[in-house]
Chain A
Amino acid sequence: MARIRRNVWNLPAGDETLLWYGRAIGEMQQRPITDPTSWRFQAAIHAYVRRADPLAVQGERLPSAALRRQFWSQCQHGSWFFIPWHRMYLHFFEQIVAAEVANLGGPDDWALPYWNYSADEESRLLPEAFRDPTLPDGTQNFLNVPERDPACNAGQQFADDRDVALRTALIQAVFSSSNANNFGGFPTNFSPSGSGPGQLERVPHGSMHMAVGGAEGWMGAFNTAGLDPIFWLHHANIDRLWQVWLNRDPTHRNPTSLQWLSRTAFSFHDASKRVVTMRCLDVLDTNALDYTYDDVSDPLAAPVLEEGFAAVEPETEAAMPDDTVPPELVGATETSVKVGNTHSRIRVPTPAHAAAQGRFLDVTEAAEVAPEPRILLQLENLTAGGRANSYDVYVNIPDGEDPTKHPERFAGRLDLFGVAEASRAGAEHPGSGLTYTLDISGIYKQLSAAPDWNPENIDVSMVPVRNWEGATVTVGRVSLFFA
């Protein structure tokens, strides 16, 4: 009988799923970091940097360098492995917690709940069981960590509609492609911080990491995210959305490339501490992993909470450009730009717009089917010395006007989850920072129809999302592509 992962907000009164989760965490936290079933080892699988470990104890023994290299800092981001790798990660974590729950005398079919924050405003709040540092009986509540955005633990709204928006991710026609129009990320090799996040990885995944983590919380950094118990419920929801995407349209399919399916393997420890190696091929069906979700219905079939997007998003599924033709550069900034905690405006000259469009159609096989190229706005090599704010990106906001008053010019949200780690060259990252690609075809079409349209440049506005001071972000280049 498969375990059933349920929405944390719909657990019936008196349900003990979270109670047992907390108890199991308490036990796992007692174990040394060298134990693969310990809480810290599990978090380190995502990412680990000794100097950034908030629970480090001077003189403590770490696993051997070879073991660390094989099992720690394995998280896949900016890549088509993002979704399947996290499914594997959660699968073994759930096994370990379930074994501990059973060991403590709890139910044998314990399953990790998921946090569906996109249903309505209330569901965006942090579930109550995670807010208080102590339980009603005065003992420690292991589901709570103080290292979160203060509003989050206070039971107040800390995320907005755009943080939990599902539409952009779910309407993608393909799982992976080498342009921005995909659900699951760009094709890459093993990739701890690739430059091709899929739409799901960007929002709601990255945006909710940053919303919960706030200025200093654990969820806001690769190295500490797994230490927060809510991390696992957040990722269970991301995992569920993979199935939602597959179910909502029969044309939605997983990649068939062998590079994705079988050529890249990842190693984990199971509940009995045995090493298990898995490939994407092994995690395509959740039933084969002994779990299902209580709800994988299509949230877009009903009205969803995404007022800000309605004006610019396509009415139908995103048209698929010919992925075998690489996008063509139309314009870019000459130098890098520093962006702080106020609204920044960046002018992008686009001298090649007309020539590019003509040549592009000439080599595109499907010219008659998709006569208009997709317009991609790329923000490249975003780097920062510390945790940075998230930014909303707008295009061509009239001079002196407030971008937030122009939802029709909203291009997308940059979560910047992991920007500090991706900016530092080291054993896991080359230091290139993060790169985001936003599809602005709808806005571009709208703008180009206006009588005062100047195709020689576009203005990109970056507006900080959260009300805390983040590190200054260096945007390596802003560019425009036709795809």
Chain B
Amino acid sequence: MSLAVVMRNRAPGKGLRRFFWTHPEWWSLGLAALAWGAVVSHAGGATIVSGAGRHQEHVHHSISVPHIMPFQVEFLYWCLMVVAMMVPLMLAPLRWVAFQSFRQRRHRAILLFLVGFLLPWMLVGVVPAWLRTFDWSYNPLLASGTFGLAALWVLGPVRRHALVFCHLTVPLAPSGWNADRNCLRFGLIIGASCIATCGLLMLACAFTGHSLIAMLGGTLLGVLEFRSFRPPTGYIFAGALVLAAWFLLPISSAWLH
């Protein structure tokens, strides 16, 4: 390689340009990071790492005056949680839609996929946001029970099929309205499959009041699972059960006292 080429390859900005070329999905990960930031800053303080401790407080409050959030706030938290937890799992399809598109359309393709992907999640999110307007939904038994259900759901055939479907690819038109529609539709399909796969787990996370423990645990399970057609079902099942047990702790300790 000549000196001229070496110098050109080392020129300022070359590495950055190469990075943006090879990772057009960078901004969607930034979006997820922002969502994590918002969730963490909301949780704040020492209680953020202790789901059990935090719920102990909720149990106590639910007897008297629970901290019930308005529907809009709960819905916003749901949206943040979905972006924080689900978008990083979508790296493969995000890169796929980008590189199946013309260069000048890559970001548009990613955006449309994300819109399609998030839309069903937002629609589904109305339910937990509404449920969280009732004080009974703050009972940790509900969160724990939903994690238990999520663990059972892991073992069922419907979920296994849905998980395989998460690895679907579809042909994308290269340009025009057809291309936009294809990206949007692809996002919708993957979003719907993702709900069938992870919906219960996310619902359980919502019932914990978007606890960081629940969200981090759920994300870890998602990463473990999404990287393979043949996920370690036993680990996912056990992980969901651990979360169920964790959020049961406040109740059992209350009973013990």
Q: Which residues in A have some Cβ–Cβ distance to B below 8 Å?
A: 189-192, 195, 264, 324-329, 331-336, 351-352, 355-356, 359, 362-363, 365-369, 380-381, 425-432, 435, 476-477, 479
Contact = CB atoms under 8 A, between A and B. Distances in A.
B17 A191 contact: no
Nearest to B165: A430
Interface stretch (B43-51, B123-131, B167-175): B167-175
B5 A329 contact: no
A327 B98 CA distance: 11
B222 to A, nearest CB: 15
B interface: dominant SS: loop
- The 5 lowest CB-CB distance pairs between A and B, nearest first, are A476-B171, A477-B171, A430-B168, A332-B174, A190-B230
Interface of B: 1-2, 5, 9, 17-18, 21-22, 95, 99-103, 157, 160-161, 164-176, 178, 227-230
14 contacts: A190-B230, A329-B103, A335-B173, A335-B178, A356-B103, A365-B9, A368-B1, A425-B168, A426-B161, A427-B161, A430-B167, A432-B167, A435-B169, A476-B171
A278 to B, nearest CB: 15
Contacts of B157: 427
B163 to A, nearest CB: 9
Contacts of A336: 171
A355 B173 CA distance: 19
Contacts of A191: 229
Nearest to A380: B171
Nearest to A264: B228
Contacts of A426: 161, 164
A335 B174 CA distance: 9
A366 B168 contact: no
Given A189-B228, A352-B102, A356-B103, 17 more contacts: A189-B227, A190-B228, A325-B18, A325-B22, A329-B101, A331-B174, A332-B173, A334-B174, A334-B178, A363-B17, A366-B1, A367-B5, A381-B170, A427-B160, A428-B229, A430-B169, A432-B169
A325 B171 contact: no
A460 to B, nearest CB: 15
Contact of B161 (A190, A329, A352, A425): A425
Which residue, B21, B22, B164, B230, has most C-beta atoms of chain A within 10 A?
B230
Given A365-B9, A430-B168, A479 B22 contact: no
Contacts of B167: 430, 432
B102 A329 contact: yes
Contacts of B5: 367-368
Contact of B103 (A192, A334, A352, A369): A352
Contacts of B227: 189
Contacts of A362: 17
Contacts of B95: 326
A428 B1 contact: no
A329 B24 CA distance: 14
A324 B168 contact: no
A369 B1 contact: yes
Contacts of B173: 332, 334-335, 477
A195 B1 contact: no
Contacts of A192: 229
Contacts of A195: 169
Nearest to A478: B171
Given A189-B228, A329-B99, A425 B174 contact: no
A326 B101 CA distance: 12
Nearest to A474: B171
B17 to A, nearest CB: 6
A72 B175 CA distance: 42
B95 to A, nearest CB: 8
B4 to A, nearest CB: 8
Given A334-B178, A366-B1, A381-B169, A425 B99 contact: no
B164 A425 contact: yes
Nearest to A430: B168
A430 B164 contact: yes
A431 B168 contact: yes
Contacts of A432: 167-170
Nearest to A259: B227
A381 B96 CA distance: 13
A331 B166 CA distance: 27
Nearest to A476: B171
B229 A190 contact: yes
Nearest to B100: A329
A428 B102 contact: no
Which residue, A192, A325, A329, A355, has most C-beta atoms of chain B within 10 A?
A329
Contacts of A190: 228-230
Contacts of A333: 174
B132 to A, nearest CB: 34
B174 A329 contact: yes
A195 to B, nearest CB: 7
Contacts of B21: 325, 363
Which residue, B2, B95, B157, B229, has most C-beta atoms of chain A within 10 A?
B229
A324 B22 contact: yes
A326 B176 CA distance: 23
B164 A363 contact: no
Contacts of A332: 172-174
Nearest to B9: A365
A72 B164 CA distance: 16
